[in-house]
Each structure stands twice: as structure tokens, then as C-alpha cells.
Homo-oligomer: A and B are copies of this chain.
Amino acid sequence: MPLPHPQTVVDASSACEELPSAGPFTTEERNAVYRAIESRRDVRDEFLASPIDAAVLKRLLAAAHAAPSVGLSQPWSFILVREAETKRRVADIFRRRNAEAAAMFEGERARDYRLLKLEGIEKAPLNICVVCDRTRGGPVVLGRTHQRDVDIYSAVCAVQNFWLAARAEGVGVGWVSIFEPDDLRPVFDLPEHVMVVAYLCVGHVDRLHDRPELEARRWAARLPLGEVVSDERWGAGSSLFER
């Protein structure tokens, strides 16, 4: 599905279009954005059975579709999965791959891994298979000339938009990555040029963990922000976070 190539490009120096003013949000608006970012969780078990209203789902999909995309190629597509038989097939694939995954850990970590619930495929009323059409935008895409995978990055931005909007709507999202992307190809009749980027479990929630579940369950710890920021060079540390 190449994009139409419309008329003539408007020169960057042209004044033919207005640039509306766009300063900071009000404090209340800004706090709401941060609230979504900070309270978003990867949900595995808290899904309610109630279906998602069509109007809400359209808003969430529109939020995803408003993501940045390389060369405005919009390479994402969203396959909405509600059929029990399809979810069961995906859950079976997950279980087989998750057994392989568990075997990659050793000792206590292997035992601990098996205690974790890592998906809500059948519990969530809606699953979404987010795919990237690697031909969208035509054979040469602006901004993708030197990094072949930035179309996939665009689809990931769409996932994150969806996730944050969902938090604001009281809808939980869990991202399942424990299978090979090609495992899902026959399930969704995906042609060669279409690649699975994310498999999402989606449903209303009325309770959420107040910190990342893997932290709450002591699987891993959050890093201090100062450890992932540096000035000018890799590993230099940052004067923003003086210790």
C-alpha cells in the first residue's frame, strides 16, 4: 500500500501555512500526561471480562495512528482478536515458547521464572496483533534510507501511544513477546512483507500495581535515573545528577 505522492512539495521557506502557537500545557494538563506515563503498567492478570466499547477502542486506535512515523509512512496495522479459538492458538504457542524460555534460566532464577504470570492472552477480552507492513510508503522511504528498521520503530511508537491513551481510559495493556514473530504468521495470514512487532492483551482494569510488576515481585530492580544519563559521551555521567 504505497502512499499517494501528492502534488508538489511546498518549500520549507514558504509562508503558505500557519503555525499555530503551541506552548506548554497548563499544570493540570501536564500532570495528567505525567500521570499516564508514570502509572502505566504491563498488565498480565488484572483484566476484567467486560468488552471495550467501540467508541473507546476507536479513540485508542486513533491515538496509535497519531504516532510519529518515518517519512509519514504509517507502516503499522492493528489486527483485533476476539475469537476464542484464535486466542487459544496464540496461548498454545506462548506456552510452548515459554517452556523453552524457562529452560534458559538456571537454578533459582529458573524456579522463580516459572512462578511469574507473563501473559493474559485468554483472560483479556481483546488481543491486538500489531504488525509492520515493510513495503508501505513505497520502495524508498524518507528517513529510512540508512536505517532499514526505523519503520518497526514507528510501529513501536504507535504501541506506546495506544498504551498511554489506554491508561487514561482505564484500559490495561500487556505486551507479550515470548514467541518468535513468525510463529504468529499462519494464525493471522500474514504475507511475507508484514512483520509482527507486538502482541497486546487489552481489557478494562480497575486495579493496577503501583510499580512495575517485575519490581514488585522482586525479579528485577529499577535503576536510578542518573545511571542512564550522561553528558556528551557514553559513560561520562551527567552534571544533572551530581552525587
Q: Contact check, A234 vs B131: say whether CB atoms are below 8 A apart.
A: yes
Name the residue of chain B whose CB is nearest to the CB of A69. B212
Q: Contact check, B164 vs A164: say whether CB atoms are below 8 A apart.
A: yes
What residues of B have a CB within 8 angstroms of the CB of A49 in the complex? none
Q: Contact check, B9 vs A74: say whether CB atoms are below 8 A apart.
A: no
Map CB proximity to B onto A72-89 as digits: 1 under 8 Å, 0 otherwise: 111011111111001000
Other A-B pairs beyond A12-B217, A72-B214, A190-B234, 13, CB < 8 Å: A1-B227, A5-B220, A6-B218, A9-B112, A9-B219, A24-B168, A37-B165, A72-B219, A77-B234, A79-B233, A83-B232, A143-B178, A156-B157
Q: Given A115-B9, A157-B159, A208-B19, check contact A177 B34 (CB 8 Å).
A: no
Q: Given A34-B59, A218-B7, A225-B58, check contact A20 B164 (CB 8 Å).
A: no
Bound form: Cα–Cα A66–B36 in Å: 10
Bound form: Cα–Cα A161–B167 in Å: 13
When all copies of this chain in the complex are counted, the total is 2
Bound form: Cα–Cα A219–B12 in Å: 12
Q: Given A12-B217, A147-B181, A240-B54, check contact A168 B68 (CB 8 Å).
A: no
Q: Contact check, A28 vs B32: say whether CB atoms are below 8 A apart.
A: yes
Name the residue of chain B whose CB is nearest to the CB of A104. B140
A67 located at the interface, meaning its Cβ lies under 8 Å from any Cβ of chain B in the complex: yes
Name the residue of chain B whose CB is nearest to the CB of A194. B234
- A118 in complex: contacting residue of B115, B143, B228, CB < 8 Å: B143
Interface centre among A8, A168, A180, A189 (most CB of B within 10 A): A168
Q: Contact check, B61 vs A229: say whether CB atoms are below 8 A apart.
A: yes
Q: Given A143-B118, A153-B156, A156-B156, check contact A222 B191 (CB 8 Å).
A: no
